[in-house]
């Protein structure tokens, strides 16, 4: 089902088909051991950003990506309101998320588009997407399909809490929701 998002004009088809564009690098560092980091580049299909007032008060969705072409995307269970995971999106993965109605991220470790649940079957069906005031971060309210969202086998990635008085961590979730080795073939 195609949804209408904040009165934007129809978006142009993606030019990139799941692969990052030419590898761009950060400005040279004066530290010899500093590695260059490839950007998650993709052809943006979103309208150009307006002035500050248009971005903060208008209804046009004009996402702002960081210097690496990414924006944080927080997935929250739409029913329980529990945080599930924090990942990143580039323009292409965000566009695919809007088109599919399922969460699609940019994997920083693999440097590729990552359709959540493609391997595990633990898909995130989008119920609602929110953006912050300057449109450089989003929250995805999702229906988590399958046993969990975390690659460790838990229902979500935020399974520990930090005691603010002592700084010590403790588990807030007993056990695992699924066996990651049987799902992913690795621990």
- Structural domain includes residue 6: no
Domain count for the chain: 1
Q: Percent of the chain having pLDDT more than 90?
A: 64
- Structural domain includes residue 24: no
- Structural domain includes residue 44: no
pLDDT exceeds 90 at position 2:
no
CATH of the domain at 96: 3.10.20.810
pLDDT digits (tens, 9 = 90+) for 102-127: 999 999 999 999 999 998 899 999 99
- Of residues 30 and 137, more confidence is placed in 137
- Structural domain includes residue 88: yes
- Structural domain includes residue 123: yes
- Structural domain includes residue 29: no
Q: What is the pLDDT of residue 1?
A: 42
Question: What DSSP assignment string belongs to the chain?
Answer: -----TTPPPPPPPSSTTS--S---PPPPSSTTPPP---------SPPP--HHHHHHSS-------TTS-EEEEEEETTT--EEEEEEE-HHHHHHHHHHSB-EEEETTTTEEEETTTTTS--EEEEEEEE-TTSS-EEEEEEE-SS-S-TTSSSSS--EEE-TTT--EEESS-S-SS-HHHHHS--
pTM for this predicted structure: 0.75
Which domain covers residue 120, as residue numbers? 62-149
């Amino acid at each position: 089902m195609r949804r209408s998002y904040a009165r934007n004009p129809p978006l142009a088809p993606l030019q990139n088909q799941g692969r990052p564009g030419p590898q761009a690098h950060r400005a040279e560092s004066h530290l010899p051991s500093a590695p260059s980091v490839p950007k998650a580049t993709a052809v943006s299909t979103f309208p150009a950003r307006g002035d500050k007032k248009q971005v903060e008060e208008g209804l046009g969705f004009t996402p702002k990506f960081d210097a690496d072409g990414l924006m944080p995307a927080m997935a929250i269970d739409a029913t329980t309101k529990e945080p599930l995971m924090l990942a990143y999106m580039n323009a292409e993965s965000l566009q695919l998320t809007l088109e599919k109605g399922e969460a699609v991220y940019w994997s920083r470790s693999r440097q590729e588009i990552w359709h959540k649940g493609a391997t595990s079957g633990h898909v995130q069906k989008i119920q609602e997407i929110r953006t912050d005031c300057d449109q450089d971060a989003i929250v995805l309210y999702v229906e988590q399909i399958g046993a969990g969202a975390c690659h460790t086998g838990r229902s979500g990635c935020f399974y520990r809490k930090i005691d603010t008085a002592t700084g010590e961590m403790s588990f807030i979730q007993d056990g695992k929701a699924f066996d990651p080795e049987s799902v992913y073939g690795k621990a």
